[in-house]
Amino acid sequence: QKEVEQDPGPLSVPEGAIVSLNCTYSNSAFQYFMWYRQYSRKGPELLMYTYSSGNKEDGRFTAQVDKSSKYISLFIRDSQPSDSATYLCAMSAEAGTYKYIFGTGTRLKVLA
Amino acid sequence: SQTIHQWPATLVQPVGSPLSLECTVEGTSNPNLYWYRQAAGRGLQLLFYSVGIGQISSEVPQNLSASRPQDRQFILSSKKLLLSDSGFYLCAWSLTPYQAFFGQGTRLTVV
């Protein structure tokens, strides 16, 4: 079993739709949960992170972590064509050498 | 401000040839450094990470090696490339458990 599982998509939605992206994980030591956005042929960039369980909101983006279910989500409200990219979840444990374990990424296309 | 440089952006190499990819970080000291490989449909696979000069941890047994000769320099090498080494290689640095900063990547094609 992979440590982090993510549906690779692709996911196509109309402009203005609410997008839901999800990851599951198996390592209970993970404490930091991150979402990265990656445009084609570029390096990933951090969108937001959450520590432990709970929700975090940043503009149109909301991250949710449910540690009891080992399940994390990213919601994008009022999606825009500029949101079209690959979204990767990533996780790390609190202690140690900050090893980031990534999901496979979900390709999202927002249609104008 | 901190910046990360990774080069070259694109590389085409024949099977059996050597490889050297270099990554340098500016504007920070003693960062954790990482090499990832990204293949289609497989996400980012952690290859090596380093917490200090000369300290390298390998995550996946493979045809590659890494070195950190200076605090902000990280090198990925191979003596003889295989077709399966093709992919998108990304260097990253971090000082926290919640944010890694990535370079722009090197697209390696082994022919």
Strands (E), chain A: 4-6, 11-14, 19-25, 30-38, 45-51, 54-58, 61-66, 71-76, 85-93, 101-102, 106-111
Task: Quote the DSSP letter at residue A58.
Answer: E
**How many beta carbons lie within 10 A of that of residue B57, not counting itself?**
13
Q: Residue A95 has what pLDDT? A: 65
Cβ contact (<8 Å) for A32 and B98? yes
CB A91 within 8 A of CB A32: yes
Strands A19-25 and A71-76, how do they pair? antiparallel
pLDDT of residue B26: 94
Chain B: closest CA distance from residue A71 (Å)? 17
**How many Cβ atoms are within 10 Å of A97's Cβ, its own excluded?**
15
Alpha-carbon distance A77 to nearest alpha carbon in chain B (angstroms): 23
Contacts of B102 in chain A (CB under 8 A): 43-45
With CA atoms as reference, the chain B residue closest to A6 would be B43
Strands A11-14 and B106-110, bridge-based pairing = unpaired
- Contact predicate B101/B93, CB 8 Å: yes
- Cβ separation A34–B99 shorter than 8 A: yes
Answer whether B11 touches A (CB < 8 Å).
Answer: no
Q: In B, which residues are within 8 Å of A72 by CB distance? A: none
**pLDDT average, residue stretch A61-66:** 96
**Short-list A22, A63, A99, CA closest to B45:** A99
Q: State residue B59's pLDDT score.
A: 86
Distance CA(A102)–CA(B38), nearest Å, equals 10
Q: What is the mean pLDDT of residues A89-109?
A: 86
pLDDT at B31: 94
**Nearest partner of A106 among A35, A6, A33, judged by Cα:** A6
Provide CB contacts within 8 A for A73, sequence distance 6+.
A20, A21, A22, A23, A63, A64
Residues contacting residue B51 through CB under 8 Å, at least 6 positions apart: A97, B32, B57
pLDDT, one tens digit for every residue, chain B (111 residues): 779 999 999 999 999 999 999 999 999 999 999 999 998 767 899 999 999 999 999 988 678 999 999 999 999 999 999 999 999 999 999 998 888 999 999 999 999
- C-alpha torsion A37→A38→A42→A45, nearest 10: 20
- Asked if A40 contacts A53 with a C-beta cutoff of 8 angstroms, the reply is no
CB atoms under 10 Å from CB of A71, counted, come to: 13
Question: For residue range B40-65, what is the model confidence (pLDDT) as tens digits?
Answer: 767 899 999 999 999 999 988 678 99
C-alpha span between B72 and A85 (Å, rounded): 30
